[in-house]
Homo-oligomer: A and B are copies of this chain.
Amino acid sequence: MNLEKYPSRLLENAINEFARLPGIGKKSALRLVLHLLRQPKESVHSLSQSLVQLRDEIKHCKVCHNISDDEVCQICSNPSRNSSVICVVENIQDVMLIENTQQYNGLYHVLGGIISPMDGVGPSDIEIPTLVERVSQSEIIEIILALPTTMEGDTTSFYIFRKLKNMPVKVTTLSRGVAIGDDLEYTDEVTLGRSLVNRVLYENSLGKQPR
């Protein structure tokens, strides 16, 4: 469907702005915009204001680089969290995902990307120097690398491992294995092979209760 003729310039502007968002085409944009036209003015103002406020006022935690309303985020400033363990993740979503497991009580370090020479992203373009600095300046016992299991993720993990090699810190990574709820039949060979090599004591596989 070709929707290039709009009855109004205002409508067209709003559609074009929405269609710039990822995963929203012209047709969805039109549907969203017509929905907004049927809403009370206050609703539209409230949506609009929340986006501007978010973009203008949000901060990044100066310790872990997660997004935050304050200088230091809720996780870093929470005294009941274990400040001697840092989980290194690619982005903000990963922090939320790990928080939702309720299995982790340490702190985070958000890299804001991963090393990707193809995209021109090197170690100093992401928060690796600040991670090294953080490890050297505070009492960190363990660094957990929770990066994607892709070529870029593995490269980044290896780079960080090398950087921290001579520091008194244990570097661990997420276990790779068969996903819970999956049949062996649907697990790829590499993962299955790795899960055999890294097999664990049965009693340790039962998992801890969420704290």
Q: Give me the interface of A with B, judged by CB distance under 8 Å.
A: 1-11, 13-14, 16-18, 20-24, 28, 30-37, 39, 41, 43-58, 66-69, 73-75, 91-93, 95-97, 99-100, 189
Number of copies of this chain that the complex holds: 2
CB distance from A104 to the nearest CB of B (A): 12
Instruction: Check if A99 sits within 8 Å of B5, measured CB to CB.
Output: yes
> Which B residues touch A73, using CB under 8 A?
7-8
Task: Tell whether A3 pairs with B96 under 8 Å between CB atoms, given A17-B51, A52-B45, A69-B10.
Answer: yes
Instruction: Check if A8 sits within 8 Å of B67, measured CB to CB.
Output: yes
Instruction: Check if A30 sits within 8 Å of B93, measured CB to CB.
Output: yes
Partner of A54, one of B14, B57, B93: B14
Instruction: Check if A22 sits within 8 Å of B35, measured CB to CB.
Output: yes
Instruction: Check if A54 sits within 8 Å of B3, measured CB to CB.
Output: no
Docked pose: A67 CA to B6 CA in angstroms: 9
Task: Tell whether A57 pairs with B10 under 8 Å between CB atoms, given A21-B32, A23-B31, A37-B67.
Answer: yes
Q: Nearest CB to that of A22 among chain B residues?
A: B35
